[in-house]
Amino acid sequence: MTVIEINHLKKSYNPDKLAVNDVSLSIEEGESLGLVGESGCGKSTLARCLLGVERVDGGSITFNEKPLANANRKDLRDYRRNVQTVFQNPTASLNPKLKIKDSLLDPYLQFQNELQLEHFHFTSKQAFVEQLLEIVELPKELGDRYPHELSGGQKQRVTIARAISIEPKLIVLDEPTASLDVLSQGAILELLATLQKSLGMSYLFISHDLAAVYQLCQRIAVMKDGELLDMFQKEDIYNSRRHEYTKELIGIF
């Protein structure tokens, strides 16, 4: 089943140039789609349009077969719950004044009345936080610490735990490893792959790093100057039909 479908999406910040130019793509249940392209090609703009942070100038977004343009309040809330994000900078994503356990509980407390969790169980706040810390391979004592007492990799694990806590259908991962050292990057990619297998959600993994996208994703989309130039199954990356620009990217990865 298709989780999200984007059709002919357009977004411009100024009249002369489209930051996202007629982009269409879809993501299936349980699938990881990687979106690669150099800095400024429009990847984050596309993500922000998906998350409703930017107004789109054309095209449509359909979630669970419902066009967002026709969504009522309940549908929009359902969308907000089901599309979670993990950003590049975990320090900016966590409230410095909240203990880790309170950041982790926040999405659950917002949506608890409409949640029917399959994988996690809420028996108490403490037990819920411990389950989340365990699944992202962090010691449970970290719940009582503040963000500044954690490493970058640990903080990113917390933002991942927070995103999965309400079992969304899709997580938009916008350069989730870009601020980490190489060892932590590899560990976070492995964790994301393991979580996807055990929880079955879909990912849109945005990155300028084709090697990282290749490691995590089943399908890869390539953007340049706001346009989607190429989209293919990972196994077809070396196929001679690849777009010349994809071949250039492969040459440097």
Ligand X SMILES: Nc1ncnc2c1ncn2[C@@H]1O[C@H](COP(=O)(O)OP(=O)(O)OP(=O)(O)O)[C@@H](O)[C@H]1O
Render 42-53 in DSSP notation, one character per residue: SHHHHHHHHTTS
Sole window of 34-42, 57-65, 119-127, 233-241 interacting with ligand X (rule: CB under 6 A): 34-42
3-state secondary structure of 106: helix
DSSP 8-state secondary structure symbol assigned to residue 235: G
Exactly one of 8, 13, 92, 127 binds ligand X (CB under 6 A); which one?
A: 13
| Residue pair 20/11 in contact by the 8 Å Cβ criterion | yes
Return the number of the residue (39 or 113) whose C-beta is nearest ligand X. Answer: 39
Would you count residue 45 as binding ligand X (CB under 6 A)?
A: yes
3-state secondary structure of 208: coil
Would you count residue 42 as binding ligand X (CB under 6 A)?
A: yes
> Minimum distance from CB of 178 to ligand X (Å)?
8
Sole window of 40-48, 103-111, 118-126, 244-252 interacting with ligand X (rule: CB under 6 A): 40-48
Would you count residue 221 as binding ligand X (CB under 6 A)?
A: no
As a whole number of angstroms, the longest Cα–Cα distance in the chain is 55
Would you count residue 39 as binding ligand X (CB under 6 A)?
A: yes
- Angle (CA) 158 136 139, round 5°: 85
Site size toward ligand X (CB under 6 A) is: 11
Sign of CA dihedral 182, 184, 190, 195: negative
Exactly one of 9, 19, 191, 204 binds ligand X (CB under 6 A); which one?
A: 19
DSSP 8-state secondary structure symbol assigned to residue 144: G
Q: Which of 114, 170, 101, 173 is nearest to 141 (CA)?
A: 101
Sole window of 39-47, 160-168, 188-196, 229-237 interacting with ligand X (rule: CB under 6 A): 39-47
Q: Which residues of this chain interact with ligand X, rule CB under 6 A? A: 13, 19, 37, 39-45, 208
